[in-house]
Amino acid sequence: MPSLKLYQVDAFTDQVFRGNPAAVVPLEAWLPDITLQAIAAENNLAETAFFVPKGTGYHLRWFTPRQEVPLCGHATLATAYVILRHLTPLAPRVEFTTLSGPLAVTRAGDGFTLDFPRLELTPVPVPPAALAEGLGRQPVQVLETSGDPNYYAVYPHEADVRALRPDLVILESLHPFGVVATAPGIATDIVSRYFAPGYGIPEDAVTGSIHCALTPWWAARLGRTELTAYQASERGGTLRCRLEGSRVYLTGSAALFLEGTIALDS
């Protein structure tokens, strides 16, 4: 079996060691799923993205260390960075076929804009007791969407979100649900954190996909369709979010950390 090229890219940041790292592996054709999952587990990053050529674009898939997921923002940004900066540096845009339908990424100055689906949040009538127990702080409201398996815990202040010290064992019992904590921001419009221990991700550094739901929900409450967002993880990362009808546009930068080779035949 031939060796594979691997890129590691820090997404939603313009400098290495910040934002959210993702591995990106270009393929000529799909390998067996068991091999893709083994590579993702070996990388041990929140996401490993694999893509193969399809028509004028690419077929894109995302794997956590434990399983494939239907949507990932930061690994899509990382993949677009690899394609538009390294593989087709003159192209203005790249299109992907994914489990979440067609997605596109366009150059935006020094960064990139992701064209993602809008997700609607609705209240959870009776949130599981493990949610507040696992977060260690009672939210004022709990929401969910049919578009992704996450609970969204709303807090009144940014300080509430930053102060969370979750019990990851308890939160893992909520699997397949991850947990988003969010509040109005101070320097940005909104702030969030995301915990998904059931997927092998104790705390995700910056999560594009959750902003597909956070953007329309906060846009309705703040009365505008363009928002700035900060994910307050240890590494941290910033997104510019724009709501247009059924789509959410997320803009951010990326930085290359490494290029390497996966030696499958060694």
**pLDDT tens digit string along 253-262?**
999 999 999 9
Whether residue 1 is predicted with pLDDT greater than 80 in this model: the reply is no
Q: What is the per-residue pLDDT across 242-253, written as a single tens digit (0 to 9) for each?
A: 999 999 999 999
Taking the mean position of all CA atoms in its chain, how far away is CA 196? 11
Amino acid at residue number 217: W
105 lies in the same domain as 78? yes
pLDDT (0 to 100) of residue 146: 87
Whether residue 86 is predicted with pLDDT greater than 80 in this model: the reply is yes
Q: What is the per-residue pLDDT across 172-204, written as a single tens digit (0 to 9) for each?
A: 999 999 999 999 999 999 999 999 999 999 999
36 lies in the same domain as 95? yes
34 lies in the same domain as 107? yes
Q: What is the mean pLDDT of the chain?
A: 96
218 lies in the same domain as 258? no
**Distances from the Cα of 205 to the Cα of 37, 47, 114, angstroms:** 21, 11, 18
155 lies in the same domain as 111? no
105 lies in the same domain as 28? yes
Task: Tell me the HSE value of 253 on the side-chain side, using a 13 A CA sphere.
Answer: 12
Reported confidence tier of residue 265, pLDDT bands at 50, 70, 90: confident
Whether residue 226 is predicted with pLDDT greater than 70 in this model: the reply is yes
Whether residue 216 is predicted with pLDDT greater than 90 in this model: the reply is yes
Range of the domain at 185: 122-245
Determine whether 259 is an active site residue.
no
Burial, 97: exposed, middle or buried (Cβ in 10 Å; 0-12, 13-18, 19+)?
A: middle
134 lies in the same domain as 170? yes
pTM for the full model? Answer: 0.93
Whether residue 266 is predicted with pLDDT greater than 60 in this model: the reply is no
Task: Please state the φ and ψ torsions of residue 197, each to the nearest 5 degrees.
Answer: -65, -25
Counting the structural domains of the chain, the total is 2
Selected catalytic residue, list 47, 144, 158, 203: 47
Whether residue 39 is predicted with pLDDT greater than 90 in this model: the reply is yes
The rounded distance, in Å, linking the Cα atoms of 31 and 75 is 19
Share of the chain above pLDDT 90, in %: 96
- Provide the CATH number for the domain around residue 109: 3.10.310.10
22 lies in the same domain as 101? yes
Share of the chain above pLDDT 70, in %: 99
Task: Please state the φ and ψ torsions of residue 69, each to the nearest 5 degrees.
Answer: -125, 155
140 lies in the same domain as 109? no
103 lies in the same domain as 130? no
195 lies in the same domain as 226? yes
44 lies in the same domain as 102? yes
